[in-house]
Structure 1
Amino acid sequence: MNTRANAITALAERASAGDFGAWYRSIVRLGGCTNPVHLVGNASLVDATTGEVLHSFATDERGGRLLTACGNRRATVCPTCAALYRADTYQLIRAGLVGGKETPATVGGHPRVFVTLTAPGFGAVHTRRERSGRLQPCHARRTQKHCAHGVPIGCRVRHAEDDKRLGEALCPHCYDYAGAVLWQAHAGQLWHRFALELRREIARRAGLTRTELGGRLRVSYAKVAEYQRRGLIHFHAVIRLDGPEGSESSPPGWATTQFLADAVHHASSLVRLRAPGGDIIGPRVLRFGSQVDVRPIAEFGTGERLPSAAVAAYIAKYATKGAEAAGAVDARIHRAADLATLPVREHTLRMIGTCWWLGALPQFEPLRLRQWAHMLGYGGHFSTKSRRYSTTLTALRTARAEHLAQQQRTVLGLADRPTVTVSHWRFAGRGYAPDEALIAAGVRAAKTEVPAPRTGAQEVRA
């Protein structure tokens, strides 16, 4: 009997049991999470004044385990939990653009730009080019020349969106895979240096020292990392100028949007970082690519081409993505033998192999390249923000938990009583039984039938 038939049989047996309703609701409330966490323990709702136990819950009374959502941010791992993470990120980004979530609405009038910082080139790759709305050849050359390895250095193909060659190196032997992996490993440090250099550049342009600048202006930002098809990341960020107290205060009059845009352009060109190389691959000086995109964000309600909601939706979309855009794998690689069976394209496999090779050399050991080989060398955070940009993910999750707790107290008739929750839980496993997985799949299918609201994220690419 196949797995689906076993699940249907188990579900039928479960339906005949007396606790089917409670069991069914315990699965549905997870919203279709693909890999729930099993907890064992108990919780009690206690009157904060008298210490009286008003309500209690123990897993040994409810089937032995409590299932809770996994909370994974990766859409390829759990689409349900990733959707919630994406929604939280959207609220976080948007609050820093138009206010809300304890951020004043006056931030909508502060200078703000949407910035994209890219990786430099490490060799020619197949790409999709458009000019004036017309598709152009990948790498047009008047004469068909060849590299030292006998591979044509040009490509006159007009690649379709789904062309599997996109992101592949024209000549793998010419492509600097070692440099690309080292850039990935240091990308987080490059961003940190850019943030410092931006503050220095703003101070220089304003004729102030950095200490004096801190008393007049604060730079706030929120960013995400996105993988390109060639396997390298680039950063999308909202950068905002505030007064010295953060979002609650306005920046000085000379700090305009154009002032900020010019400072970002120049600061990004100054960032340099020397990476270890030694006698193995030679010295490397890392920097951002020359393609730096800086666009002003429209003030709230002005109806301009790049509205705040579109920027927030665009950034939030990439908060739940990983290296799958480059064709990489979700799980860490533990053995060299696994490289031979990875279901990845040639370019991605070469980057993973380079991580594995460099990761074994003493000078690269601090970079933990083997640990991050499945991420093509990038081990940094995918979503970060400065302290004063807006609210935090923790605050959003706490507010949601308090709302759900208040709903529970209302159902129990305890809404007006001061209560505290005392609980003890321990991890007991992951995943679904076959009949549980069938219910969860139905919940996910029902969600996909509901069309998602339009957010305007595509306007960012226009």
Structure 2
Amino acid sequence: MAERFNRPDFNRWAARARATGGCAQPVHIRGRVEYRDPLTDALLHSYSTAGEPGGALRVACKSRRASRCPSCAETYRADTYQLVRAGLVGGKGVPASVSAHPAAFVTLTAPSFGPVHSRRTGTGGAVTSCHPRRNGGTCPHGRPVSCTLRHSTDDPRLGQPLCPDCFDYPGAVLWNAHAPELWRRFTLAFRRYIARSAGLRATEMREVLTVSFAKVAEYQRRGLVHFHAVIRLDGPAGPDAPPPGWATLDLLKAAVDHAAGAVTVNTPAAGGVPAKTHTWGVQIDVRPITATGELTDTAVAGYIAKYATKAAECVGTLDRRIRATDDLADLPVSGHARRLIAECLRLAEVDDFASMRLAEWAHMLGFRGHFSTKSRHYSTTLGRLRADRIEHNRREHAEITTGRLPFDDDAVLAISHWRYLGQGMTPGEALLTAAITGKPLARVDPSGS
């Protein structure tokens, strides 16, 4: 810290730290850019990183993971919040009339692969016993099948199997790997059910109704993903047109219940794992979104945006990929996560499962889908929100690196040469950045891995 603070270029370094929003894993690049007149080739403006501290420019990493960079993840969370909320009440190019369209908050969960420790509450909200069994007894491996503890919210045993040897680790890993396909088939079955209910073919329904959605994947503590989604019924032009009168919330709920129970994905018997039929869990939740009450548009948007910045690290696994040089026994993960990772690595060697790339996604416990997705007509896009923010900053703030350009940069020829140098910062730089920007101090990985 003292070394960085006493350098003559500290003020410039601090300005870059503010410009990146306090990014915890800034990307270091070196190079230059020239702006030339496309007709005369005259040099209008130039910039080089030679004048930057260390001869390199630091730019924000733009990570969505709060575990890697709280600052950039907060920007991603805020953008996701605006995206989801615009699809419920309007704004960002979506008409306010969309708030009158039928919309519901849907939760699809994974099935059980074995009993795990959980925090249960009764009807009055009081915490009850985890897994009470009147007669008790043990499993085939000699472990108790009951748990009478009342777990606290931060109990590290939450999500851990009562008996790891009874838990179906291959089934859990394969289910995670096929969760994106289950979602895709769910959306198809959902649309087909609505079309049949209206006496239409699926292709004909597009002329009168559009199904729009925005979803996010969340990890449960037992290591299985489940999906939260906003599903909305629109007219044929999307949010700009109201849906037909027969497209009601009751029909939406019936379509969810049907589609969730109708879709399956099969995997063959291989690698010592029997053939499996993967389905959604029995816990399916469909709740209407209202302007007032417990489940408002603001609450739903905040809930989805919060989980858009998280991954599998809440299960006790890593937030990076498993390297070939990693010793699984030495990884700082929970015992449950370790067995899930080991199963991913084992099944990756089986030819029938090679296309799932389980070794590459072992740190995600087999899940390789996108964490947040939306349909085309739901609302605006993250790209458009980023472009609007860049344009706003260009109008309101002086550019820290190149200065405000005295011309429209869309009408000139930009010639740039950039080279990647690395990523991250030292612990001392991290402390200074947190002090300068007021942003949370993140975990620092000097290797930038």
> Scaled by the length of structure 1, what TM-score is found?
0.89
Are 1:383 and 2:378 matched, yes or no?
no
Give CA-to-partner distance per residue, 1:79-125, whole Å, 9 cap, x none: 11101111111111111111111111111111100011000000111
Report if the CA contact (8 A) 2:34-2:45 is conserved. Answer: yes
* Paired position in structure 2 for 1:179: 171
Are 1:394 and 2:383 matched, yes or no?
yes
* Paired position in structure 2 for 1:288: 280
Q: Which sits farther off after the overlay, 116-125 or 412-421?
A: 412-421
Letter in 2 for 1:98: V
* Paired position in structure 2 for 1:56: 46
Alignment of 1:320-331 (within 5 A): 320-331=309-320
Shift of 1:50: 8.1
Q: What SS is found at the alignment partner of 2:266?
A: strand
Report if the CA contact (8 A) 1:276-1:363 is conserved. Answer: yes
* Paired position in structure 2 for 1:457: none
Inter-CA distance 339–205: structure 2 relative to 1 (3 Å threshold): same
Alignment of 1:212-291 (within 5 A): 212-278=204-270, 280-291=272-283
* Paired position in structure 1 for 2:192: 200
Report if the CA contact (8 A) 1:49-1:418 is conserved. Answer: no
Q: What SS is found at the alignment partner of 1:281?
A: coil
Are 1:114 and 2:112 matched, yes or no?
no
Are 1:9 and 2:9 matched, yes or no?
no
Report if the CA contact (8 A) 2:4-2:10 is conserved. Answer: no
* Paired position in structure 2 for 1:37: 27
Shift of 1:54: 4.6
Inter-CA distance 254–317: structure 2 relative to 1 (3 Å threshold): same
Q: What SS is found at the alignment partner of 1:441?
A: helix
CA distance in 1, matches of 2:77, 2:374: 15
Gaps of 5+ in 2: 442-449
Give CA-to-partner distance per residue, 1:279-305, whole Å, 9 cap, x none: 62111000000000100001xxx4232
Identity of paired residues, percent?
51
Inter-CA distance 256–324: structure 2 relative to 1 (3 Å threshold): same
Q: What SS is found at the alignment partner of 1:28?
A: helix
Shift of 1:38: 1.1
Inter-CA distance 46–313: structure 2 relative to 1 (3 Å threshold): farther
Inter-CA distance 351–55: structure 2 relative to 1 (3 Å threshold): same
Report if the CA contact (8 A) 1:98-1:106 is conserved. Answer: yes
CA distance in 2, matches of 1:78, 1:86: 12
Report if the CA contact (8 A) 2:271-2:347 is conserved. Answer: no
Are 1:348 and 2:337 matched, yes or no?
yes
Report if the CA contact (8 A) 2:207-2:236 is conserved. Answer: yes
CA distance in 2, matches of 1:43, 1:99: 40
CA distance in 2, matches of 1:220, 1:178: 34
* Paired position in structure 1 for 2:446: none
Shift of 1:418: 7.4
* Paired position in structure 2 for 1:67: 58
Letter in 2 for 1:82: A
Inter-CA distance 374–392: structure 2 relative to 1 (3 Å threshold): same
Match of 2:363 among 358, 371, 374: 374
CA distance in 2, matches of 1:97, 1:116: 17
Q: What SS is found at the alignment partner of 1:255?
A: coil
Alignment of 1:132-211 (within 5 A): 132=123, 133-211=125-203
Inter-CA distance 74–434: structure 2 relative to 1 (3 Å threshold): closer
Letter in 2 for 1:427: Y
Shift of 1:143: 0.6
Q: Which sits farther off after the overlay, 346-355 or 421-430?
A: 421-430
Report if the CA contact (8 A) 2:345-2:359 is conserved. Answer: yes
Shift of 1:267: 1.1
Report if the CA contact (8 A) 1:48-1:418 is conserved. Answer: no
* Paired position in structure 2 for 1:88: 79
Are 1:28 and 2:46 matched, yes or no?
no
Are 1:441 and 2:434 matched, yes or no?
yes
Q: What SS is found at the alignment partner of 1:440?
A: helix
Letter in 1 for 2:421: A
Shift of 1:439: 2.4
CA distance in 1, matches of 2:271, 2:409: 70
Shift of 1:228: 0.4
Inter-CA distance 437–160: structure 2 relative to 1 (3 Å threshold): closer
CA distance in 1, matches of 2:199, 2:47: 63
CA distance in 1, matches of 2:334, 2:380: 40
> Scaled by the length of structure 2, what TM-score is found?
0.91
Q: Which sits farther off after the overlay, 34-43 or 46-55?
A: 46-55
Inter-CA distance 60–206: structure 2 relative to 1 (3 Å threshold): same
Give CA-to-partner distance per residue, 1:202-245, whole Å, 9 cap, x none: 11222211121111111110101000000001001000011111
* Paired position in structure 2 for 1:314: 303
CA distance in 1, matches of 2:282, 2:162: 21
RMSD, aligned CA: 2.3
Report if the CA contact (8 A) 2:180-2:369 is conserved. Answer: yes
Match of 1:432 among 422, 425, 430: 425
Shift of 1:419: 5.2
Shift of 1:45: 5.2
Report if the CA contact (8 A) 2:23-2:71 is conserved. Answer: yes
Report if the CA contact (8 A) 2:208-2:235 is conserved. Answer: yes
CA distance in 2, matches of 1:417, 1:10: 35
Q: Which sits farther off after the overlay, 35-44 or 170-179?
A: 35-44
CA distance in 1, matches of 2:23, 2:195: 48
Q: Which sits farther off after the overlay, 430-439 or 282-291?
A: 430-439
CA distance in 2, matches of 1:317, 1:88: 11
* Residue correspondences, number: 435
* Paired position in structure 2 for 1:127: 118
CA distance in 1, matches of 2:69, 2:5: 23
Report if the CA contact (8 A) 2:101-2:234 is conserved. Answer: yes
Letter in 1 for 2:100: G
Inter-CA distance 248–168: structure 2 relative to 1 (3 Å threshold): same
CA distance in 1, matches of 2:285, 2:38: 54
Report if the CA contact (8 A) 2:70-2:440 is conserved. Answer: no
Q: What SS is found at the alignment partner of 2:327?
A: helix
CA distance in 1, matches of 2:319, 2:309: 13
Which of the pair is proportionally richer in helix?
A: 1
